Amino acid sequence: MAIHSGIDLKHCLKHCLVRIPGLELRENEPLSRHTSFGIGGPADLLVIPSTPAALCAALAATYDAGISPVLLGNGTNLIVRDGGIRGVVVRIADEMAEIRFDGTRATVEAGASLASVCLQCARRGLSGLEFAAGIPGTIGGALIMNAGAYGGEMGDIAEWVEVAGTDGEIRRLEHADLSFGYRQTTLRMLGEAVVRAGLGLREGDPAEIHARLCDTMAMRCAKQPVSSPSAGSIFKRPEGDYAGRLLESAGAKGLCVGRAAVSRKHANFVVNLGGASASDVIRLIEATRELVYERSGVWLEPEVCVIGED
C-alpha cells in the first residue's frame, strides 16, 4: 500500500526503518544543514545510513512503501526550495565513506569526500585525481554528474560503479556501461543510489602529486568564491564559450535578490550573503539567465539541480 501523508510516514515507514541497524532517522530535518548553500526547507524524514547494508535496506523499505526517495550527498550543486521535501531524503555522506587501496586501484564508498580521497591518493603516490582538488562533493555525487575540472573528469578514472536499485539489491556497472558525458552519466538517468566505486589510478611521486593538488587548489581559490556558501557553478558551459564570461559581459556580477548575490569574483557563482532563501537564489538565477539571453542570444542551461516544494 502506498504511503502519502506525514502521519503514514511517521507511523508506518518509520516503524520499518528504525529496525534497520546502522541507520539514523531525523524527522522534519532542515535541509539547510545539509547543503553547501545553507538553504532549504525541511525533509519529512531524513535517513542517514552508515553502511551499504543499511542503505540497501532503507531503499528497499522506502520503495516498498510506495515512496521514491530523494538521494543526497554533501548537498553541493543543489538548491532545495524553501518548502522542503515531502517524503524521504536519503543522505549518503561521511557516515559511509570507507576507502580501500589495492595497488593502483581504490575502492571508495559513495559518501567519501573528494577532498579526502585526493589526499589519501597523494600520500600513497597515486595520481589521476588531482583535477578534483577543491571540488566540495562526494564520490557518489561526482560520479553521477561526471564532475571535472582543469582537463580531467571522473570518467577518466572510474573503472566500475556499484548501485542499489529499488529492490535494495546491489549491481555492478562497468565503465563501458556508464556513458560518461559533459556533466552527466548513465547514473544520472538511472536515478539509483551509488554505493561504491572502483577508481583506476597511476603510480607517481607523492611530493609531485601533492604539489599539483596545491596548484589546483590555488587556481580554484584565485578564481572562485570558495569561502562563501554557494552551490558551485550555476550554469553549464555553452558550446564554444563560457557561462562566466557571458554573465559578466551581460552585467550580472554583483546583482542581488534579497540576500543572494552574483559573486564579484566569478559571475557563474551565486553566493549566500547570510539568510538568503531558495526563492531569492532561484529568482536571481532566472534574472541573470534572461540578461545573458537579451545580450547574446544564448539560453544558458543550469548545472545546479533544484528540488523540493515552494
User: How high is the pLDDT of residue 8?
Assistant: 59
Q: In this structure, what are the phi and psi dihedrals at residue 231, rounded to the nearest 5 degrees?
A: -110, 20
According to CATH, what is the number of the domain 243-307?
3.90.78.10
Q: pLDDT tens for the chain, 310 residues: list them.
A: 344 455 555 668 888 999 999 999 999 999 999 999 999 999 999 999 999 999 999 999 999 998 999 999 999 999 999 999 999 999 999 999 999 999 999 999 999 999 999 999 999 999 999 999 988 899 999 999 999 888 899 999 999 999 999 999 999 999 999 988 888 888 888 889 999 999 999 999 999 999 999 999 998 899 999 899 999 999 999 999 999 999 999 999 999 999 999 999 999 999 999 999 999 999 999 999 999 999 999 999 999 999 999 8
Q: What length does the chain have?
A: 310
Instruction: Out of 3.30.830.10, 3.30.465.10, 3.40.50.460, 3.30.479.30, select the CATH number for domain 99-223.
Output: 3.30.465.10
Query: What are the boundaries of each domain within the chain?
Result: 6-91, 99-223, 243-307
Report the amino acid identity of residue 78.
L
In 3D, which of 303, 222, 234 has the Cα closest to residue 268?
A: 234
Instruction: Note if the pTM is more than 0.85.
Output: yes
Contacts of 297 (CB under 8 A, 6+ apart): none
Active site residues: 183, 233, 303
Cell of 224: 572562485
Q: What is the pLDDT of residue 298?
A: 97
36 to 39, 48, 89, 144, 231: CA distances (angstroms) = 8, 17, 16, 17, 6
First to last CA, the chain: 27
Q: What is the pLDDT of residue 3?
A: 44
105, amino acid identity: R
Q: What does the alpha-carbon distance between residue 5 and residue 16 come to, in Å, rounded to a whole number? A: 16
Cell of 289: 539567465
Q: Which three cell numbers stand for residue 38?
A: 545553507
Does 99-223 match 6-91 at the fold level?
no
**Rounded Cα–Cα distance for residues 85 and 176 (Å):** 34
pLDDT of residue 2: 44
The answer to whether residues 45 and 7 touch, using CB atoms and an 8 Å cutoff, is no
Q: What is the pLDDT of residue 110?
A: 97
Closest CA to 67 of 118, 24, 14, 22: 14
For 6-91, CATH number out of 3.20.20.70, 3.30.43.10, 3.40.50.880, 3.40.50.970 equals: 3.30.43.10
**Residues in contact with 33: Cβ distance below 8 Å, sequence separation at least 6, in sequence order:** none
